């Protein structure tokens, strides 16, 4: 058993067993327990004192939109760019304020405050995100409040708050959904709760065809959440989860010729495969010391295995067509009948991480000023094992056979093994002073981390030279300061600045040009930024809400990826304006029939490099890749008092560059060239008869079935064609 597993088990025992005994022997009489309402929220439900840009998508908004996945929901948030590379968010690509969205590596993802990445420090890639079915509320933070969280604090932070345990008796729901592209989904939720706490079970399964042909997927998740209110001062919360994905979604895009022939083809999709299994444990103890102080201690453990098989890794190399890596080099894309007899490459990777974080929140009156303070510390460890196998033997398409090749040398067999370990300590403190109509919030975070990269095998050869092992130790002080003014009713004016940080990226693919003992690990410095904001949130007028933020990000040591290797590319900057608002005419005219308008717009004035990078042909002034100047999401909706509502929306993304060189002419691989602007329409209808526990809904994306390009990272990727989903939900 792994050391983190033992620790997690020990923590579980320390929390659960003594607590159960304590509850049994000292539980107060009925009616004497002050039940603690526990949520995974990182934001207060009143935002007037937050000195930074925030967005919250609550249950009402999510039900009105009926998004297929997290991706569709986040498109309505200003400043957020989502690349629609797959069907239902199995691999999220989210960029905030001009940062590269690839696998969401520069945006911190949390579930109830727990990190979600494969490895938050060593491999911040989002191959998993909380299913939208379990989400009650989505919180997006882009301002100086990020000093309380980490390690990714450059672009922003997204927290998925899961649905709470029932408070009174048994409650739950069963939902079933169907759609074109053979889509079907099932979600069952049941829980029971009372004054002493409760327990809740979620089961989710979704399957169907992906954006491209032969990209079918099947995902399954089961999770359980429990809460024990020992007495008015002590509360325990626990959550466990198991997730499994088996899909034929390949990361290899299309060459220019292939894309022109059929945008939705996947030359080897029937053989390519992606397997992902994730187990998680989250525990929290809340000690309400008194009315002015609360100590919460969170512990978490995640064990994830992911493996991807590809028969093609380089798109469009031969006259704009792909060829099979481990077959006859003359075998072209249009002659793949023998693909089952071909080899390929597996990339199995194992991730383990765990952490513990005590945090003290308390009120005080130091210097005679009313204040709220937060002091916390987190200890975090990661253990990452990356392997790559390559062989011409068609049996390599079976992962079990592939693992039998461990230790084989040469250009086939066990090609690569990289072990990465991380130890990180984070300290943070923040204080909010309340002076009249002003809230003044200084804070600081300190990150101290050690990343060890050990290349044990590269290019099929063992490696034990000094250059194949690297210690990358970093420590950073990350201050933040914000101020909010509430001198006008239901209005907040805010300004803030904070130091952003992203850990140094360990190399993912290592080249050993001379075979044994020639691998060289590249050391990168952490990415740093200075983030400025000036903004306004207001609901001064009845039925009208508005938020607007002017932002400037001065980026230092941006990291550039080149075929799995990372190196620093110097300085860049992003400047822009975010605007979002909503008008409810039902409130304006005191009508139970409500027509509403919503919209969000991001104008990224500037997103450019500030330094020449000769090796990448990057010139100072070039625009950052995947940083569209305009993002627009608008919708009109109608809410009927008899249980019917409908919504029609549109999402527009302006032109983007696919590389730092700002290439406009497309090459045969499809990896170079621009990504043209596009607009996609969507619609939703919900109906719940009065007095009924059953609701019905219909949701559609890309109503006009427009063909559009979304990515060139590994070749050309088309956006999703028209997708329609119908569903029924019974709540009890």
C-alpha pair distances (Å), 192 with each of 187, 235, 284, 620, 640: 17, 17, 19, 60, 32
Using CA atoms, how far apart are residues 565 and 617, in angstroms rounded to an integer? 17
Band (505; pLDDT cuts 50, 70, 90): confident
Asked if residue 11 has pLDDT above 70, the reply is no
Q: What per-residue string of b and e applies to 273-296 under the rule 16 or more CB within 10 Å gives b?
A: bbbbebebbbbbbbebeeeeebbb
- The domain that holds 510 is classified in CATH as 2.40.170.20
Q: How many CB atoms lie within 10 A of CB 609?
A: 24
CA proximity to 474, closest of 102, 192, 68, 121: 121
DSSP 8-class letter at 211: S
Asked if residue 411 has pLDDT above 60, the reply is no
In the chain, the N- to C-terminal Cα span, in Å, equals 41
C-alpha pair distances (Å), 13 with each of 21, 58, 114, 287: 12, 35, 20, 18
Residues whose CB is less than 8 angstroms from the CB of residue 578 and which lie 6 or more positions away in sequence, other chains included: 53, 78, 79, 535, 547, 548, 549, 551, 600, 601, 602
Token duo for residue 39? 């949520």
How far is CA 533 from its chain centroid? Answer: 23
pLDDT digits (tens, 9 = 90+) for 535-592: 999 999 999 999 999 999 998 877 766 555 566 677 899 999 999 999 999 999 999 9
pLDDT value of residue 563: 53
pLDDT digits (tens, 9 = 90+) for 159-168: 999 999 999 9
| DSSP assignment string, 262-314 | -TT--TTTTT-EEEEEEEEEEEEEEEEEETTEEEEEEEEEEEEEEEEEES--S
pLDDT value of residue 216: 94
C-alpha pair distances (Å), 169 with each of 172, 196, 432, 730, 731: 10, 11, 39, 17, 14
CA proximity to 531, closest of 224, 216, 141: 141
pLDDT value of residue 70: 92
| DSSP assignment string, 627-695 | --SEEEEEEEEEE-TTSEEEEEEEEEE--EESSTT---S--TTS-SSEE--EEEEEEEEEE--TT-SEE
CA proximity to 217, closest of 192, 248, 186: 248
Identify which has the larger pLDDT, 186 or 713. Answer: 186
Asked if residue 334 has pLDDT above 50, the reply is no
* Lowest mean pLDDT across 116-130, 403-417, 617-631: 403-417
585's enclosing H/E stretch is helix 585-588
pLDDT value of residue 413: 85
* Lowest mean pLDDT across 24-33, 67-76, 564-573: 24-33
Asked if residue 9 has pLDDT above 80, the reply is no
CA proximity to 236, closest of 495, 13, 76: 13
Token duo for residue 569? 């590319």
Residues whose CB is less than 8 angstroms from the CB of residue 68 and which lie 6 or more positions away in sequence, other chains included: 87, 88, 89, 132, 699, 701, 723, 725
Residue at 500 is within a domain:
yes
Token duo for residue 460? 């099929």
Residue at 30 is within a domain:
no
Asked if residue 25 has pLDDT above 70, the reply is no
Residue at 32 is within a domain:
no
Band (328; pLDDT cuts 50, 70, 90): low
Asked if residue 44 has pLDDT above 80, the reply is yes
Beta bridge partners of residue 400, listed in sequence order: none
pLDDT value of residue 258: 92
How far is CA 206 from its chain centroid? Answer: 19
Using CA atoms, how far apart are residues 267 and 250, in angstroms rounded to an integer? 10
Percent of the chain with pLDDT over 70: 91
- The pTM of this model reads 0.92
Mean of the pLDDT values across residues 656-681?
95
Mean of the pLDDT values across residues 167-189?
96
CA proximity to 50, closest of 691, 493, 587: 493
The most distant pair of C-alpha atoms in the chain lies apart, rounded to whole Å, by 80
Mapped to the 3 state alphabet, what secondary structure does 100-165 carry?
CCHHHCCEEEEECCEECCCECCCECCCCCCCCHHHEEEEEEECCHHHHHCCCCCCCEEEEEEECCC
Residues whose CB is less than 8 angstroms from the CB of residue 182 and which lie 6 or more positions away in sequence, other chains included: 207, 208, 209, 216
pLDDT value of residue 410: 60
Specify the residue for token string 């602007």.
677
Q: What is the mean pLDDT of the chain?
A: 89
pLDDT digits (tens, 9 = 90+) for 423-449: 999 999 999 999 999 999 999 999 999
Asked if residue 202 has pLDDT above 50, the reply is yes
Residue at 34 is within a domain:
no
Residue at 33 is within a domain:
no
The structural domain count of the chain equals: 1
Band (91; pLDDT cuts 50, 70, 90): confident
pLDDT digits (tens, 9 = 90+) for 81-90: 999 877 677 8
Asked if residue 26 has pLDDT above 50, the reply is no
pLDDT value of residue 7: 37
Asked if residue 179 has pLDDT above 50, the reply is yes
Residues whose CB is less than 8 angstroms from the CB of residue 309 and which lie 6 or more positions away in sequence, other chains included: 271, 272, 273, 274, 344, 345, 346, 347, 396, 397, 399
Using CA atoms, how far apart are residues 527 and 84, in angstroms rounded to an integer? 26
Asked if residue 617 has pLDDT above 90, the reply is no
pLDDT value of residue 38: 52
Residue at 35 is within a domain:
no
How far is CA 80 from its chain centroid? Answer: 12
Identify which has the larger pLDDT, 29 or 447. Answer: 447
Q: How many CB atoms lie within 10 A of CB 344?
A: 27
Q: 419 with 362: CB under 8 angstroms?
A: no
Identify which has the larger pLDDT, 451 or 526. Answer: 451
Using CA atoms, how far apart are residues 264 and 258, in angstroms rounded to an integer? 9
pLDDT value of residue 523: 83
Identify which has the larger pLDDT, 386 or 344. Answer: 386
Mean of the pLDDT values across residues 724-728?
97
Residue at 60 is within a domain:
yes
pLDDT value of residue 14: 37
- Domain span at residue 111 reads 3-25+40-731
How far is CA 198 from its chain centroid? Answer: 29
pLDDT value of residue 655: 98
Using CA atoms, how far apart are residues 393 and 310, in angstroms rounded to an integer? 13
Specify the residue for token string 């008899």.
642
Identify which has the larger pLDDT, 332 or 413. Answer: 413
Query: Helix, strand, coil proportions of the chain in percent (round to 5)?
Result: 10, 50, 40
Residue at 450 is within a domain:
yes
pLDDT value of residue 197: 96
Band (513; pLDDT cuts 50, 70, 90): confident
Percent of the chain with pLDDT over 90: 71
């Amino acid at each position: 058993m792994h050391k983190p597993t033992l620790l997690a088990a020990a923590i579980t025992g320390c929390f659960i067993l003594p607590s159960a005994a304590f509850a049994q022997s000292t539980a107060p009489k009925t009616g004497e327990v002050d039940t603690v309402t526990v949520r995974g929220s990182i934001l207060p439900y009143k935002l007037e004192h937050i000195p930074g840009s925030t967005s919250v998508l609550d249950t009402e908004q999510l039900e009105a939109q009926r998004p297929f996945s997290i991706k569709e929901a986040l498109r309505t948030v200003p400043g957020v760019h989502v690349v629609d590379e797959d069907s239902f968010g199995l691999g999220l690509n989210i960029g905030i304020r001009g940062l590269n969205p690839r696998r969401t590596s520069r945006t911190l993802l949390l579930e109830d405050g727990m990190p979600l990445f494969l490895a938050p420090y060593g491999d911040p890639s989002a191959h998993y995100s909380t299913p939208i079915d379990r989400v009650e509320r989505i919180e997006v933070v882009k301002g100086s409040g990020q000093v309380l969280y980490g390690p990714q604090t450059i672009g922003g932070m997204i927290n998925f708050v899961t649905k709470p345990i029932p408070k009174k008796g048994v409650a739950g729901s069963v939902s079933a959904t169907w759609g074109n592209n053979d889509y079907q989904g099932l979600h069952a939720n049941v829980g029971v709760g009372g004054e002493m706490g409760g327990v809740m079970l979620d089961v989710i399964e979704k399957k169907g065809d992906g954006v491209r042909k032969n990209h079918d997927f099947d995902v399954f998740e089961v999770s359980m959440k429990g809460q024990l209110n020992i007495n008015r001062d002590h509360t325990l919360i626990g959550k466990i989860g198991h997730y499994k994905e088996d899909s034929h979604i390949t990361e290899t895009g299309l060459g220019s010729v292939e894309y022109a022939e059929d945008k939705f083809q996947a030359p080897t999709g029937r053989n390519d495969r992606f397997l992902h299994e994730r187990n998680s444990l989250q525990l929290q103890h809340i000690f309400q010391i008194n009315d002015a102080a609360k100590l919460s201690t969170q512990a978490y453990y995640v064990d994830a295995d992911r493996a991807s098989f590809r028969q093609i890794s380089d798109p469009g190399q031969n006259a704009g067509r792909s060829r099979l890596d481990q077959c006859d080099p003359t075998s072209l894309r249009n002659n793949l009948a023998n693909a089952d007899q071909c080899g390929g490459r597996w990339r199995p990777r194992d991730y383990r991480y765990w952490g513990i974080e005590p945090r003290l929140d308390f009120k005080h009156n130091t210097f005679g000023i009313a204040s709220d303070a937060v002091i916390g510390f987190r200890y975090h460890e990661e253990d990452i094992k990356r392997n790559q196998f390559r062989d011409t033997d068609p049996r390599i398409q079976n992962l079990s056979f592939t693992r039998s090749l461990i230790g084989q040398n040469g250009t086939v067999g066990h090609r690569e093994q990289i072990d990465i370990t991380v130890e990180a300590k984070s300290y943070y403190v923040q204080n909010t002073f309340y002076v009249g109509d002003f809230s003044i919030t200084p804070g600081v975070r300190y990150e101290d981390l050690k990343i060890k990269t050990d290349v044990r095998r590269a290019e099929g050869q063992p490696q034990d030279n000094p250059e194949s092992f690297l210690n990358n130790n970093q420590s950073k002080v990350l201050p933040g300061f914000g101020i909010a003014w509430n001198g006008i009713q239901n209005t907040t004016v805010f300004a803030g600045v904070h130091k952003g940080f992203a850990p140094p990226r360990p190399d993912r693919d290592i080249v050993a040009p001379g075979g044994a003992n020639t691998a060289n690990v590249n050391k990168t410095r952490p990415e740093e930024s200075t983030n400025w904001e000036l903004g306004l949130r207001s609901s001064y007028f009845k039925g009208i809400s508005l938020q607007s933020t002017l932002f400037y990000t001065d980026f230092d040591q941006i990291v550039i990826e080149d075929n799995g290797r990372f190196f620093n590319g110097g300085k860049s900057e992003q400047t822009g304006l975010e605007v979002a608002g909503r008008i409810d005419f039902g409130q304006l005219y005191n009508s139970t029939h409500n027509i509403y308008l919503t919209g969000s717009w991001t104008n990224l004035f500037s997103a450019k490099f500030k330094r020449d990078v000769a090796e990448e042909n990057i010139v100072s002034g070039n625009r950052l890749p995947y940083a569209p100047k305009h993002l627009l999401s608008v919708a009109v909706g109608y809410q009927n008092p008899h249980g019917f509502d409908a919504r029609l929306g549109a999402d527009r993304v302006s032109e983007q560059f696919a590389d730092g060189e700002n290439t406009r002419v497309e090459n045969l691989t499809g990896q170079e060239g621009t990504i043209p602007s596009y607009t996609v329409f969507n619609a939703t209808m919900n109906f719940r008869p009065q007095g009924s526990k059953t609701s019905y809904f219909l949701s559609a994306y890309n109503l006009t079935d427009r063909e559009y390009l979304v990515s060139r990272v590994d070749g050309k990727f088309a956006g999703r064609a028209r997708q329609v989903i119908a569903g029924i939900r019974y709540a009890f």
